[in-house]
Amino acid sequence: MIRAVIDGILIFLIPFAVWWGVQSWRLKDPKAAMRIEKGPLAWLSIIGLILCIGTIIATEMLAAPHQDGYQRAQWKDGKLIPGEAR
């Protein structure tokens, strides 16, 4: 679970890293590139969220279907068969 959280955070930070790299290259001063105004911060956050959501959707769509899982309880021949995890 912690890996999924860390992966999400890193994917979210990609636009910020790209923006910082472009600003550092453009201004030739890494410290000056650390100043973020309100406009870029909002847009970078939106882009980061779109990347996170897109990655989650793509991962789920490309993953193999689950063969195992929880089988719910059933009534069979008048008896209750309890649910089980396979």
Establish if 29 belongs to a structural domain: yes
Q: CA distances (Å), 23 to each of 10, 16, 39, 78, 80, in order?
A: 20, 10, 14, 71, 66
Q: How many domains does the chain have?
A: 1
Residues 6+ apart with CB under 8 A from 71: 83, 84, 85, 86
8-30 per-position pLDDT tens digit? 899 999 999 998 888 878 877 77
**Bridge partners for 81 per DSSP:** 74
Establish if 84 belongs to a structural domain: no
Establish if 40 belongs to a structural domain: yes
Alpha-carbon span 7 to 12, nearest angstrom? 9
pLDDT score for 31: 73
Establish if 34 belongs to a structural domain: yes
32-79 per-position pLDDT tens digit? 667 766 678 889 999 999 999 999 899 888 887 666 778 788 888 989
Establish if 85 belongs to a structural domain: no
Establish if 55 belongs to a structural domain: yes
Domain that holds residue 50: 2-71
